[in-house]
Amino acid sequence: MKAIVKNSSSPGLSIQEIENPKPGPLEVIVKIQKTSICGTDIHIYDWDDWSSKTINPPMQIGHEWTGVIDSVGSEIKKYQPGDRVSGEGHIVCGECRNCKAGKRHLCIDQHGIGVHLPGAFAEYFKIPATNLFKVPDWIPDNIATIFDPLGNAVHATLSYDLVGEDVLITGAGPIGMMSALIAKHVGARNVVITDINEYRLDLCRELGIIHTYHAKNDLRELMPSLKMSEGFDVALEMSGSPDALNNIISSVKNGAKIALLGILPDDTKISWNDVIFKDLFIKGIYGREIFESWYKMISMLDSGLSVEGLVTHEFHYENFEEAIAVIKSGQSGKVILNWDK
């Protein structure tokens, strides 16, 4: 079969012919239909400091996907060939304290599909059945393909009660845009999103996110027009920018709640005096709550949450280099790879 592989300790990826996977007793083989490219895949392509310390080539990459089950292991009863599925990208140990308490997203020994284990950028893909999620018939393939990042957005955005609250989101990448749409859907009063990329701010407006601002703007000057007097109630940092985090801290009210999903540099400096004396609550976000984020995601899609406009480009997998170039240009939302012949 064909797969997109990180074949060496250097920049780039290649399409390789590799052996078809075979399922263990508790595993399934999925025939991949579509995948989407994540920022993680770009890091692996570039072979940056993180990827060089994390990836052991050769590695079949990719963790955002949808497909149909091709075959199942001998002990699988719940799934059968032909089932339409997506799946959770973090393989957990099942034995640590958090796993046994039902908090699998906090497992101390997680392994990432497409990072530590062979990924989904392939014609066929092996995954434990416990990581599968059946895709309802009414959900289009392009949406099922982006369940992974949408779940990240659900996890971050629903960490706090947003009903009637003023919400600031820094970073209008795909997950930031998803979070803005979710915040609106669940009843936030004002949802403000900032970025330095005008293409993505324009895409936000096309999606119905009204309050979009360049990150250089002083958010405190905007508050009167939004009927705000004390600051934002909740903030979601999605960009990984130290400046964005500092803007959040200066723009939120006393007692505000902050979620951090963007990966900040190790040397990021903030005003700890403001954190303490404003009595701020800061929470780190990683992955999805398995599988609570998935159920919430499906329920919101069923009740009118619309994210289809986030998918802006689609390529055949053989043209993955062109897809990556589009992402690197900054002129895209989510980019899909189609694995049909």
User: Catalytic amino acids?
Assistant: 40, 43
Using only C-alpha atoms, what is the Rg of the chain? 20
Return all residues near 232 (Cβ < 8 A) that are at least 6 apart: 166, 167, 168, 192, 219, 248, 251, 252, 253, 256
CB within 8 Å of 304: residues ≥ 6 apart = 185
Alpha-helical regions (H) of the chain: 39-46, 49-54, 97-100, 141-145, 147-157, 174-185, 198-206, 219-222, 242-251, 272-277, 292-302, 320-329
* Contact by Cβ (8 Å): 105, 286: yes
| Among 146, 89, 118, 104, residue whose Cα is nearest residue 23 | 118
Residue of 125, 136, 67, 122 whose CA lies nearest to 295 = 136
DSSP 123: S
